[in-house]
Amino acid sequence: MAAHRFHKPVLPKSWFFETQQETIAAPEWGQIVELTSQTGDRAPFIIIENAGSASLCMLAREADFELSANKTMAFCGAIKVMNDRLSQSKHQTNSQKGRFALVG
């Protein structure tokens, strides 16, 4: 909630991520999506804001996410990406592998 209300406006940084064949046309606030970096790292993200063709996403994995060979993203880090980089998350149910830190 804090990131949604108080984040500074940022430009998309889509170059870190692979374009997806099947994308999500209109991601909704709170939806869990998946992003794949150019290095092959894949992780779940939560949609914080949808601004039409781009969305602000927050990392929902406790382990660091490798954006590039020399840049990582920490848990709860936010990044804005074009919606053609988002794919449906495979972590939609509790029975599947994946660990999320839940608050509230």
Phi, psi at 75, each rounded to 5°: -50, 135
Q: Which domain holds residue 52?
A: 2-88
Going 83 to 4 to 59 to 44, the CA torsion angle's sign is: negative
pTM: 0.78
Residue 94: inside a domain, yes or no? no
pLDDT digits (tens, 9 = 90+) for 21-41: 887 878 998 999 999 999 999
How many independent structural domains does the chain possess?
1
Q: Who has greater pLDDT, 99 or 73?
A: 73
Residue 62: inside a domain, yes or no? yes
Task: Dump the DSSP string for 34-68.
Answer: EEEBTTS-EEEEEEEEE-SSEEEEEE--SS-EEEE
